[in-house]
């Protein structure tokens, strides 16, 4: 009946056994006057190719039903809301964020400018101190210099010989008037990875917003905004993934 040999995965075998049992229930033989006759239920052919295709899981159907009925549209059209919604959901899914926290910009430079200058000006004049490192991307350093020219106090922390920021030095540098700490996740020149999770945890304990430029990290190292303790902004970009630059905002 099967007609060919099939190689099954464990999941495929379990699903095949389930279908076989269902088939046997429908094809139950009835004995009448010594002769065998099939029940009136239709007999379906056995399907042993779940390795190639399976029936739709009811949980998947429940999750997709809103998109089949009301939230439909061309997901590849990036020039209108339908495409934007899909891109937001796609980005959010990859970094553990909510789609409402995604902001598309023209580039990582704009994203970093928006994060650094936005937080600084929002808390001015109550808080006028910003902390960053000496090895940040040029757009972050330029943003900080512009703020300095406008009366802000900016601390440019050095890094250790291995390129890693000293967390004790960072902690000592945080003041009551510190509004933002901005540290690059993966350096664009030397490739060093900063302890973003620990930095984020420190900033959260001090009540300071934390921004990380993760443009060089996205697609190369795992990113989970909750595990990283990103307190306000995270900048990501993907030059080879055909995705526009993104600024992810988190309000706490």
Bin 210: left if φ > 0, else alpha if -120 < ψ < 50, else beta: beta
Q: What distances in angstroms separate CA 219 from CA 47, 91, 215, 222, 236, one per listed residue?
A: 39, 11, 9, 7, 9
Phi, psi of 64 (to 5 degrees): -90, -15
In angstroms, the CA 73 to CA 109 distance is 31
Is residue 244 pLDDT above 60, yes or no?
no
Q: Which tens digits make up the pLDDT trace of 218-240?
A: 777 877 777 776 555 667 665 43
β-pair partners for 153: 129
- pLDDT band at 146, cuts 50/70/90? very high
Q: What distances in angstroms separate CA 23 from CA 13, 26, 35, 45, 50, one per listed residue?
A: 15, 5, 21, 8, 16
Query: Which fold would CATH assign to domain 96-249?
Result: 3.40.640
Domain ranges of the chain: 1-55, 96-249
Q: What is the pLDDT of residue 240?
A: 35
What does pTM read for this prediction? Answer: 0.63
Q: What is the pLDDT of residue 32?
A: 45
Question: If we measure between CA atoms, which residue out of 100, 135, 133, 105 comes closest to residue 118?
Answer: 105
């Amino acid at each position: 009946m099967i007609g060919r040999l099939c190689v099954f995965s464990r999941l495929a075998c379990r699903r095949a056994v389930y279908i076989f049992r269902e088939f046997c229930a429908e094809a139950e033989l009835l004995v009448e006057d010594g002769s065998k006759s099939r029940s009136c239920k239709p007999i379906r052919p056995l399907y042993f190719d779940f390795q190639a295709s399976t029936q739709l899981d009811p949980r998947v159907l429940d999750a997709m039903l809103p998109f089949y009925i009301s939230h439909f549209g061309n997901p590849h059209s990036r020039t209108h809301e339908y495409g934007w919604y899909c891109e937001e959901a796609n980005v959010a899914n990859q970094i553990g964020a909510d789609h409402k926290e995604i902001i598309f910009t023209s580039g990582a430079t704009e994203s970093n400018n928006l994060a650094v200058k936005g937080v600084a000006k929002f808390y001015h004049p109550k808080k006028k101190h910003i902390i960053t490192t000496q090895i940040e991307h040029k757009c972050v350093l330029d943003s900080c210099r512009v703020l300095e020219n406008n009366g802000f106090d900016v601390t440019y922390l050095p890094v250790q010989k291995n390129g890693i920021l000293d967390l004790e030095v960072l902690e000592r540098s945080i003041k009551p008037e510190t509004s933002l700490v901005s540290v690059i996740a993966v350096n664009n020149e030397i490739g060093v990875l900063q302890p973003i999770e620990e930095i984020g945890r420190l900033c959260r304990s001090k009540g300071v917003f934390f921004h990380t430029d993760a443009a060089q990290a996205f697609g190369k190292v795992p990113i989970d905004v909750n595990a990283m303790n990103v307190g306000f902004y995270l900048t990501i970009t993907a030059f080879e993934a055909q995705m526009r630059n993104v600024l992810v905002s988190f309000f706490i």
